[in-house]
Amino acid sequence: MAKELFSEAKLGGLTLQNHVVMAPMTRNRATTDHDVTPIMTTYYAQRATAGLIITEGIAPSPNGNGYARVPGLYTPSQVTGWKAVTDAVHRQGGHIFAQLMHSGRIGHPVNMHEGGEVIAPSAVAAAGQIYTDTEGMLDHPTPRALTTEEVKATIQEFVTAAKNAINAGFDGVELHGANGYLIEQFISPDVNKRTDEYGGSVENRSRFLLETAAAVGEAIGLDQVGVRLSPYGAFNDITAFDGVDETYQYIAEQLNEIGVVYVHLVDHQSMGAPAVPGKITKSIRKAFTGSLILSGGYDADRAESDLESDKGDLIAFGRPFIANPDLVKRLRTGAELNQPDYDTFYTPGEKGYTDYPVLETEKV
């Protein structure tokens, strides 16, 4: 079998070192003011042998920054901080997209910059609680429903953040349309109860994502815009809804029409979520002719086999990249993998972040 996983790959105008993508992973190592820290530069530089790094979720605006110590892309100092990260990755021949994650109703004012507000398509609170550094676990607050004008202004926040990403040296942005954050809050009829053009029908619930993708594409170039989706996902109090197949079929067709560079599918079966039916993945593959990134529970064999059978074009690895900065080398050589320490996924500092061992002694 040809080892496609480790050969060069095309993504729009980019030539990637290989077909291995580092999946976006929130690690909460920014400052409490949501600025990039030097250890974040070290962390991404250590993993620059991936064909493409997709960063952790980055907030496009203060309203979108509902978690503790999650970075943003809306202040000059955040742009400067990210510039150090992208320079370090590029110096090693890597490529890096910024994942723009607006948390919407999954946030707490205690975690937010002054002026930030928990907003959503509708005033429907998520079940469950959210972690805060100062007050521990707190109930998700009831979000304020955006007015139609504010929905349009929020799309512009994504545009501004995308321009900031390009100024910070990113090769592109990924719109986080998955895992129960703002974009998926619009898509799900269980959360979106709006009666304007952003709620109700499939077309209306998809409008926020599609207008954002088109506007961001116009601002920075469609070759630099990808979209992450999680049909049948079960996270942050969103689950599969009536008409889910029809909705994602429409979204895939429209994203194809708009011409974004990739769609990135989440499959969290390996994390306990229900299986994503093969038929939806296949229908998205058929409707969307750009690059398809697959993710969730991959090892080298399954990655090779899915590339070989043309199920997708690139394969993203999440947790294995946390524990193995030199994951590409380990996959290629069949070396043993370090196991991730779940206790330090979201804690501040270097422990469990930049201190995983590499095969050889040289360090970034």
Ligand X SMILES: Cc1cc2nc3c(=O)[nH]c(=O)nc-3n(C[C@H](O)[C@H](O)[C@H](O)COP(=O)(O)O)c2cc1C
Per CB under 6 A, residues contacting ligand X are 23-26, 56-57, 99, 101, 176, 178-179, 228, 266, 268, 270-271, 295-298, 317-320, 345
Nearer to ligand X, 11 or 145 (CB): 11
d(CA 256, CA 265): 15
| Residue carrying the six token digits 């109090």 | 237
Distance, CA of 338 to CA of 335 (rounded, Å): 10
The CB density around residue 309, as the number of other CB atoms within 10 Å, is 8
Between 56 and 171, CB nearer to ligand X:
56
**Pairing mode of beta strands 291-295, 96-100:** unpaired
Measured from the CB atom, the residue of 145 and 316 that comes closer to ligand X is: 316
Choice among 43, 44, 67, 181 that is catalytic: 181
Euclidean distance between CA atoms 11 and 201, whole angstroms: 33
CB of 340 vs ligand X, minimal distance in Å:
8
Q: Which is nearer to ligand X, 241 or 345 (CB)?
A: 345
Two tokens, residue 286: 């058929």
Q: Give CA–CA dist 54/228, Å, rounded.
A: 11
- Structure-derived torsion over alpha carbons of residues 317, 342, 106, 140, reported in degrees to the nearest 10: 160
| DSSP string covering 300-348 | HHHHHHHHHTTS-SEEEE-HHHHH-TTHHHHHHHTPPPPPP-GGGSS-S
Q: Minimal CB distance to ligand X: which residue? A: 318
Smallest gap from residue 361 Cβ to ligand X (A)? 27
Q: Between 23 and 255, whose beta carbon lies closer to ligand X?
A: 23
**In terms of DSSP bridges, do strands 291-295 and 314-317 run parallel, antiparallel, or are they unpaired?**
parallel
Buried b (16+ CB within 10 A) or exposed e, 65-95: bbbbbbbbbbeeebbebbbbbbebbbeeebb
**Least distance in angstroms from the C-beta of 341 to ligand X:** 11
Say which residue the tokens 């990755």 belong to. 89
Is residue 198 part of the annotated active site? The answer reads no
Choose between 42 and 179: whose C-beta lies nearer to ligand X: 179
In angstroms, give the least distance from the CB of 82 to ligand X: 15
Q: Which residues are catalytic?
A: 181
